[in-house]
């Protein structure tokens, strides 16, 4: 605690970390201003004791005020610089999102056309096309995740809510993961409820949410086993959950699992891929949609992740 | 002799990336639509007035007239103001989405997140409403 406090006083180090000069760094300027105020009060006291002339006192007050104005101006400039940098970052990300995703969209759609071709493509070529499609989707997902993090931080995360069936969406996503699960000796079991639950949320974002949960469950599962998906009626709300028999999450990592760029210590042993932002983005999407997220886990036995959303009547 | 009335719905695609507009055109024709393509905003606007499509698929970042300007101007034209405009872009900030919807976009689709079949399905849904 004390160590952290003293570390926070190392202004030069903090300013270096933000990659700004000392005279543009708000931390340093505030400390300088505080120090100057203390010194000027003490000096005014001593000078006022010795010289009783009002002209001297007025001059001192004027000098102190001018110096404070200069420092305040520097502080405001430094904040403006931070705001400008933030604005440039947002614009840069907006351009990057467009420029990087356009060629990926083009690949995606050309692959769609190839997949739609009924003649002239053999089995071997179809396998290659599938790999291109999967890798392209992986790249799109990574760019989307990074953009999502940036938008969450800028509070510019745009959701387009619409009414959709959670069961249908889950079935659609599972269809895409059947091959991957089979290749991993895993069985995907979906306990589809008898009645259909509609929710109002951003369907595209929730497709990404469910995909991410299924993808994680497969990647962090043992050599074989079951992954069970369940949708339960909670009255006014609906609970979606996915239970795996995988590696689980170590106790010391549980509190950090939804943190940005965090990857559990045992996750790194099983999967080298991944940016460690999937669950951070997922949590934000669910909470921005009026829902909540949670999980239960036992290391070495598996995890159950769930989210709860209000039902659409 | 007057032309026989066409039952095919007519879609104008305003997209500057030729590979994307070509893929869209193939898929939408397959889905039974008649497709026109414009590669910049001004040509797109002119074609919208001349061809009177049933729906416009509009990119936002376009040469010579961007998608926002396109929608702003379309709103002031009696012939175009009720025409459904589906924005198809890779911009995705809440600011861009809100602005497009405020300007009257019927739907806002992010290209990277939609397959060609899903775009076609969305258009069919819009016509079905």
Task: Grade residue A255 by pLDDT with cuts at 50, 70 and 90.
Answer: confident
Where do the domains of chain B lie, and which CATH numbers do they carry? 10-128 (3.40.50.2300)
- Residue in chain B lying closest to A102 (CA): B90
In this complex, do B96 and A158 lie within 8 Å of one another by their Cβ atoms?
yes
| Residues of chain B found within 8 Å of residue A104, distances taken between Cβ atoms | 112
The structural domains of chain A, with segments of one domain joined by +, span 2-85, 93-153, 162-310
Task: Grade residue B7 by pLDDT with cuts at 50, 70 and 90.
Answer: confident
List, in sequence order, every residue forming a beta bridge with A302; answer none if it has no partner: A298
- Give the position of tokens 């992010």: B110
* Closest CB from A94, A112, A156 relative to B117: A112
pLDDT over 80 at A6, yes or no = no
* Cβ–Cβ under 8 Å, residues B20 and B114: no
pLDDT over 60 at B1, yes or no = no
Tell me whether A4 touches chain B (CB under 8 Å): no
Q: Which two tokens stand for residue B111?
A: 């290209």
* Closest CB from B96, B108, B116 relative to A109: B116
ipTM confidence score: 0.85
In this complex, do A105 and B26 lie within 8 Å of one another by their Cβ atoms?
no
Q: What is the CATH number of domain A162-310?
A: 3.30.565.10
Structure confidence at residue B2 (pLDDT): 40
* Cβ–Cβ under 8 Å, residues B11 and B5: no
Q: How many CA atoms lie within 13 A of A115 on its CB side?
A: 18
Please give the Cα distance from A193 to A190 (Å, whole number): 9
The CA angle B9-B16-B74, to the nearest 5 degrees, is 55
Which of B44, B79, B43 lies closest to B58 in space, CA to CA? B44
List, in sequence order, every residue forming a beta bridge with A21; answer none if it has no partner: none
Helix, coil or strand: residue A231: strand
| Residues of chain B found within 8 Å of residue A175, distances taken between Cβ atoms | none
* Cβ–Cβ under 8 Å, residues B90 and B127: no
* Closest CB from B90, B114, B115 relative to A102: B90
Which of A240, A215, A224 lies closest to A295 in space, CA to CA? A240
* Cβ–Cβ under 8 Å, residues A213 and A242: yes
- Residue in chain A lying closest to B116 (CA): A109
Task: Grade residue B91 by pLDDT with cuts at 50, 70 and 90.
Answer: confident
* Closest CB from B23, B93, B116 relative to A156: B93
CA distance B95 to chain A (A): 7
Average pLDDT of chain A is 84
Structure confidence at residue B3 (pLDDT): 43
Sheet containing strand A186-191, strands side by side: A186-191, A225-233, A237-243, A302-310, A292-298
Please give the Cα distance from B24 to B15 (Å, whole number): 10
Kind of pairing between the strands at A292-298 and A302-310:
antiparallel
Tell me whether A113 touches chain B (CB under 8 Å): yes
* Closest CB from B93, B108, B112 relative to A94: B93
Q: Report the residue of B97, B112, B120, B122 to disrupt the A interface, i.e. the one with the largest count of A CBs within 10 Å.
A: B112
Please give the Cα distance from A90 to B93 (Å, whole number): 9
- Residue in chain A lying closest to B113 (CA): A204
| Residues of chain B found within 8 Å of residue A98, distances taken between Cβ atoms | 61, 89-91
Using only C-alpha atoms, chain B has a radius of gyration, in whole angstroms, of 14
Between residues A41 and B27, the one the model is more confident about = B27
- Residue in chain B lying closest to A207 (CA): B113
Helix, coil or strand: residue A300: coil
Tell me whether A108 touches chain B (CB under 8 Å): yes
Which of B88, B86, B85 lies closest to B62 in space, CA to CA? B88
DSSP state for residue A196 in the 8-state scheme: P
Residue A163: what are its φ and ψ, rounded to 5°?
Answer: -85, 130
Please give the Cα distance from A21 to A6 (Å, whole number): 21
Task: Grade residue A290 by pLDDT with cuts at 50, 70 and 90.
Answer: very high
| pLDDT tens digits, B17-50 | 999 999 999 999 999 999 999 999 999 999 999 9
| pLDDT tens digits, B105-127 | 999 999 998 999 999 999 999 99
In this complex, do A108 and B112 lie within 8 Å of one another by their Cβ atoms?
yes
* Other CB atoms within 10 Å distance of the CB of residue A111: 20
Q: Which two tokens stand for residue B3?
A: 């032309």
CA distance B113 to chain A (A): 7
CA distance A141 to chain B (A): 9
Q: How does DSSP assign B99-125, residue by residue?
A: HHHHTT-SEEEEGGG--HHHHHHHHHH
């Amino acid at each position: 605690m004390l160590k952290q406090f003293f570390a926070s006083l190392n202004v030069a180090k903090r300013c270096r970390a933000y990659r700004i000069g000392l005279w543009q760094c708000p931390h340093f300027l505030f400390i300088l201003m505080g120090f100057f105020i203390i010194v000027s009060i003490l000096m005014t006291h001593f000078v006022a004791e010795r010289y009783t002339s009002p002209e001297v006192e007025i001059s001192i007050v004027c000098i102190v005020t001018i110096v404070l104005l200069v420092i305040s101006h520097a502080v405001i400039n430094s904040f403006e610089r931070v705001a400008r940098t933030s604005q440039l970052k947002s614009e840069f990300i907006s351009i990057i999102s467009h420029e990087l995703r356009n060629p990926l969209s083009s690949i995606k759609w050309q692959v769609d056309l190839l997949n739609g071709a009924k003649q002239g493509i053999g089995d071997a070529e179809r396998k290659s096309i599938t790999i291109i499609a999967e890798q392209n989707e992986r790249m799109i997902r990574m760019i989307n995740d990074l953009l999502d993090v940036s938008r969450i931080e800028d509070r510019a995360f745009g959701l387009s809510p619409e009414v959709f069936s959670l069961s249908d969406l889950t079935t659609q996503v599972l269809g895409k993961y059947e091959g991957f699960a089979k290749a991993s000796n895993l069985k995907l079991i979906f306990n589809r409820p008898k009645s259909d639950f509609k929710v109002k949320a951003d369907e595209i974002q929730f497709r990404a949410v469910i995909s991410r949960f299924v993808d994680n469950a497969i990647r962090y599962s043992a050599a074989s086993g079951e992954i069970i998906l369940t949708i339960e009626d909670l009255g006014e709300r609906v609970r979606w959950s996915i239970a795996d028999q995988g590696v689980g999450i170590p106790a010391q990592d549980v509190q950090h699992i939804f943190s940005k760029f965090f990857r559990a210590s045992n996750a790194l042993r099983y999967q080298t891929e991944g940016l460690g932002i999937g669950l951070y983005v997922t949590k934000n999407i669910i909470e921005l949609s009026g829902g909540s997220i949670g999980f239960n886990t036992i290391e070495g036995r598996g995890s159950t992740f769930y989210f709860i959303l209000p039902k659409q009547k | 002799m007057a032309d026989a009335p066409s039952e095919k719905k007519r879609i104008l695609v305003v997209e500057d990336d030729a590979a994307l507009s070509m893929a869209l055109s193939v898929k939408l024709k397959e889905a039974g639509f008649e497709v026109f393509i414009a590669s910049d905003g001004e040509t797109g606007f002119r074609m919208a007035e001349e061809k009177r499509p049933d729906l416009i698929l509009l990119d936002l970042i376009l040469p010579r007239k961007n998608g926002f300007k396109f929608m702003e101007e379309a709103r002031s034209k009696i012939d175009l103001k009720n025409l459904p405009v589906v924005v198809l872009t890779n911009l995705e900030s809440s600011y861009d989405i809100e602005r497009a919807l405020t300007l009257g976009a019927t739907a806002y689709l992010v290209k990277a997140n939609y397959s060609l079949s899903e775009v076609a399905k969305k258009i069919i849904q819009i016509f079905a409403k």
